[in-house]
Amino acid sequence: MDRFETFMTGYRELHHAARGAALEDLAPECRCPECPTYNDCTEGAGERLYCLVGRSFGCVTENLGCICQDCPVYRELGLEHRDFCVKGPEAARRYERSLP
């Protein structure tokens, strides 16, 4: 397993509250608030960690660039995709990539 698969295996074994705590621990490292694509709507909604929790809930209408590759979470988890706020999270993207 690579780093992301190891993280997700541990994450899925956590109870609901512990999953929330794990995301809260990572949220301050998320660089999305510094990204040109991040906007007043996403800020107001407190959206973060799209790579794990999924795409923006209707706030991102235009992709103005992605800085995920400069993010500590990106490196720590060994992520392979980007533009998560518009294209969906790493796990779903990997699954889609594996389809024939």
- Contacts of residue 48, defined as CB under 8 A and 6 or more positions apart, other chains included, come to 27, 30, 32, 33
Give the residue, chosen from 30, 59, 88, 98, that forms a contact with ligand SF4 under the rule CB under 6 A: 30
* First CA to last CA distance, the chain: 21
# residues contacting ligand SF4 (CB under 6 A): 20
Tokens of 97: 């990539």
Residue 45 CA to residue 90 CA, distance in Å, equals 21
Footprint of ligand SF4 on 35-64 (CB under 6 A):
35, 37-38, 49-51
Contact between 66 and ligand SF4 by CB under 6 A: the answer reads yes
Rule CB under 6 A: which residues touch ligand SF4? 30-32, 35, 37-38, 49-51, 66-68, 71, 73-74, 79, 82-85
